[in-house]
Structure 1
Amino acid sequence: MARKEILIVGDRLYTDILCGYHAGVETVLVLSGEATKEEAKAYEHQPDYVMSSVDELHEAWIKSIS
């Protein structure tokens, strides 16, 4: 699988998003867990996308394939 085909989804900046950054893959921060939008804006390694929930991510994915 190519890196461009991988997306890491997580709610923690210092584990999930940082892991994706170091792996060289796109990341999605979901705000339904630990991190806040303000923390994400201030974080050194910005997520590629920020969504309010996994449901919002699912809706975006469905729209992208239809």
Structure 2
Amino acid sequence: MEGFCTVTSLTLFLRLDAHAVLVTDTRLESTISAYGLGVGRWIFTLAVLLLAAGSAALLIALVGHIVRR
């Protein structure tokens, strides 16, 4: 689960960077707020949520492993 969420969120973040370079002819100097408030904000939101879900799944797995020891 955590691997899928991490790979998917990284893919979405890279898509935002590719869009910034290829479509808008800007350099990669966009701030986080520009991604969060811009046209692709739904992609940014989805990427952040997937990253959070993957992090939570990893934390749960680690805590479960420590408790079982």
TM-score normalised by the chain length of structure 2: 0.31
Which structure's relative contact order is higher, taking Cα pairs within 8 Å and 6+ residues apart? 2
What is the TM-score with the length of structure 1 in the denominator?
Answer: 0.32
Q: Which has the larger radius of gyration?
A: 2
Give 1 or 2: higher helix fraction. Answer: 2
| Larger proportion of strand | 1
